[in-house]
Structure 1
């Protein structure tokens, strides 16, 4: 009997270790959270919610719950275990309007936005819902800070206010800033655009709205594109060709990215991958949005 129990224990540990080692994509579809293999196969629903962010080890997903009561909505940050489907909702956060969770590379904290007193703050919390604190309070005379994401040092974050991209320390002080129109020719960012830091910490992947002509009849507004900004050289390179409408990008590794695109005639966006040299474009998951990927 002891041998059987020991064997079962080893099998469970082995299964968990294997699961943790697999790379996965988390994404949103029809107001629900899904996960899939890195190649886009074996997708499955794991929770109801939006804005999923998979943990670096690929075992958990942070996301937004959306709870409707009469004519009002409450939105909380939650974390769900992929293997068990067990969610933990963070209801001790002092806001019923929290958004956009993102994991620190060491998996110890979650960064997110929350609305307090009609202003948007940046907050930090542990993955078990403890030790909430405000990283940066919103200010009435300043534009909201959008698109928060972690630096690879676990000690800084990046965000943007539609005019500048900022790097902040964990007390909310500005470490660096870049004017968007200067680093991205003919480009600007909205509150819905996205920033992601490359695994080596050297580049920012920026989702940008381009001020250039396009002839697409089924597209209202500017063309979205993905750019890589080199934090060392302070130079930017456009990663997506002008004929490709691409947004919501994230790094797979230092030379490949995931993103959303919606070809002409399609009714919904899908997840694609592309190498940073502009080659090997591949459709991975149809009818999906807001992809994130576990760490290399």
Structure 2
């Protein structure tokens, strides 16, 4: 049996095959083309236009463009330092090879935030970027050739596209889902299910194996942004816990810390008194002693064991390259990617090609 998605995909592939030469990115383009054909037919039938929406997501590590941020409060011992070395702006052929960032990490994908548009996904096998469009969310794995995709027409499902073969596989996951988040090893997807009667998290393997774990939201109380995220080593998932200060619409609710749960059996494992929300697995330092969180107002660098605030930082969306090096995107100017030390001193700055300046980025190991 075939459905409208498969029919549209087949039509798109045949249309593209009429060309004189095969295209390396045929799979991603065909999938996007098929989606557009299906939308066009549905729009004509309804007599109206259909507008695609790009989901805001956190696939692995998200470095998104942000409005100009309030300057971080300087540390008492901070001093003015010279401007860091700035690498050249990538040329027009930047997509023909992996875009290497300071710290020897690479851009794995770039998509728009809150508006439809053309995105880019790194094909590690071919060593180049493919064009991805027509989905509501594209989430490349940190390693390997898989990308997860979401479609508002399939709100309970996620698709896995193997860039090596271009074969999409759709899996039913559940209701009221968050965006998918890849584990650090690229072998599992994490979802938060926000069902009123079944709050918790769901893990999905690339072969379709699904495990769901319920969490008592009254016992493990969380308000505001309450999505589960991975731990640094991928053995646990964590949920922010709301403090006792009450709810205030003008700022984030005060966090008492984060509660961690086993990714193997869903049982609670430990509690850490960090006063904010980690953005993802690489917000935690490799040695586990420090973590970057979004506090009530500012991004904070804090001690994991005690919750003591070490200093404020320009952004909470960081990648720990080593125990004393952070990779993040500047929140002003052209949103360059920066390698910095723990004092906030910029060490190297990497401008982005113009096609990526206004996109949210995902990055991974080289």
The Cα shift of 1:101 comes to 1.9
2:338 to 229, 248, 273: 273
Contact 2:301–2:311, Cα closer than 8 Å, also in 1: yes
Contact 1:52–1:101, Cα closer than 8 Å, also in 2: no
The Cα shift of 1:230 comes to 4.4
* TM-score normalised according to structure 2 size: 0.51
Contact 2:260–2:271, Cα closer than 8 Å, also in 1: yes
The residue aligned with 2:202 is 123
2:155 to 71, 74, 78: 74
After superposition, where does 1:245-284 map in structure 2 within 5 Å?
246-252=315-321, 254-263=323-332, 270=335, 272-277=337-342, 278=344, 279=346, 280-284=348-352
After superposition, where does 1:96-115 map in structure 2 within 5 Å?
97-115=176-194
The residue aligned with 1:165 is 258
Number of residue equivalences: 237
User: Separation in 1 of the partners of 2:122 and 2:336?
Assistant: 11
Q: Which region of structure 1 is more displaced relative to structure 2, 49-58 or 104-113?
A: 49-58
The residue aligned with 1:214 is none
The Cα shift of 1:201 comes to 5.2
* TM-score normalised according to structure 1 size: 0.61
Matched, 1:35 2:121: yes
Q: For residues 161-189 of structure 1, give each alpha carbon's deviation from its aligned partner in whole angstroms, at most 9, with x where no partner exists.
A: 452212221333332223344xxxxxx44
Unaligned runs of 5+ in 1: 1-17, 182-187, 212-223
Larger C-alpha radius of gyration, 1 or 2? 2
- Greater share of residues in strand: 1
- Greater share of residues in helix: 2
SS in 1 for 2:269: strand
Contact 2:274–2:303, Cα closer than 8 Å, also in 1: no
Higher relative contact order (CA 8 A, sep 6+): 2
Go from structure 1 to structure 2 and tell me whether the alpha carbon gap of 1:99 and 1:201 turns closer, same or farther (over 3 Å shift).
farther
The residue aligned with 2:108 is 25
Matched, 1:156 2:225: no
User: Separation in 2 of the partners of 1:52 and 1:149?
Assistant: 18
Contact 2:231–2:280, Cα closer than 8 Å, also in 1: no
The residue aligned with 1:294 is 364
User: Separation in 1 of the partners of 2:240 and 2:310?
Assistant: 19
SS in 2 for 1:116: coil
Q: For residues 28-56 of structure 1, give each alpha carbon's deviation from its aligned partner in whole angstroms, at most 9, with x where no partner exists.
A: 31456533599xx9654335445654323
Contact 2:158–2:171, Cα closer than 8 Å, also in 1: yes
User: Separation in 1 of the partners of 2:123 and 2:165?
Assistant: 17
Contact 1:196–1:251, Cα closer than 8 Å, also in 2: no
